[in-house]
Amino acid sequence: MRYAMAVDTIKCVGCNDCVVACQTENDVPIGYCRDWIVEKTTGTYPKLQLEIRSERCNHCANAPCVRTCPTEASHYGPGGIVLVEKNECIGCKACITSCPYDARFVHPEGYVDKCTFCIHRVEKGQNPACVAVCPTHAMIFGDLDDPNSNISRAMATRKWKSLIPEAGTDPKVFYLI
């Protein structure tokens, strides 16, 4: 089982519903976010191109945060989801500086926090909160090892990219383009 997410940059309108759903579902402290919207404008006026992405932890298969963690607080959970065990985290912030996506932050209670792919929902067979609320159905979550899952089919039929693959982290969040 290899959990992954695909975000359709053509369907995404940047409404921030995924951000709010995550903050509500996961009790993310005010002023922080585990997922966020990025708008990238390329070109020179009037020939402009806009790409909107909903970004989060990439749940890398070769995660630098897991490698640099001195206590095994950062670890691979079920299906390759990268998780932080808060009672093992000492708050040294090595994982924060090692993440090329800057997806982590220090929770006001001291431990390091980030996207969990809503593992508590996934374990019950539900979609992560961001995927569940997306009004344009721009996000797909599923198992890459299952060739019939929605995500495997989307990635087989659409063009896609991942973010800074050259950093060698083998990210598991993909962007359909």
Residues lying near another protein in the complex (CB under 8 A): 16, 19, 31-33, 36-44, 55, 64, 67-73, 86-94, 96-100, 102, 104-106, 109-112, 163-164, 166-168
State in angstroms the smallest separation of the CB of 47 from another protein.
10
- C-beta of 142 vs 171, nearer to another protein: 171
- C-beta of 103 vs 122, nearer to another protein: 103
3-state helix, strand, coil in the chain (%, to 5): 25, 25, 50
State in angstroms the smallest separation of the CB of 102 from another protein.
5
- C-beta of 87 vs 157, nearer to another protein: 87
Instruction: Label the pairing between strands 74-76 and 160-161.
Output: unpaired
CB contact at 8 A, 104 and 113: yes
SS (H, E, C) 19-71: HHHHHHHCCCCCCCCCCEEEEEEEEECCEEEEEEEEECCCCCCCCHHHHHCCC
Instruction: Classify 112 as helix, strand or coil.
Output: strand
Handedness of CA 6, 175, 139, 156 (dihedral sign): negative
- C-beta of 87 vs 148, nearer to another protein: 87
State in angstroms the smallest separation of the CB of 152 from another protein.
24
State in angstroms the smallest separation of the CB of 65 from another protein.
9
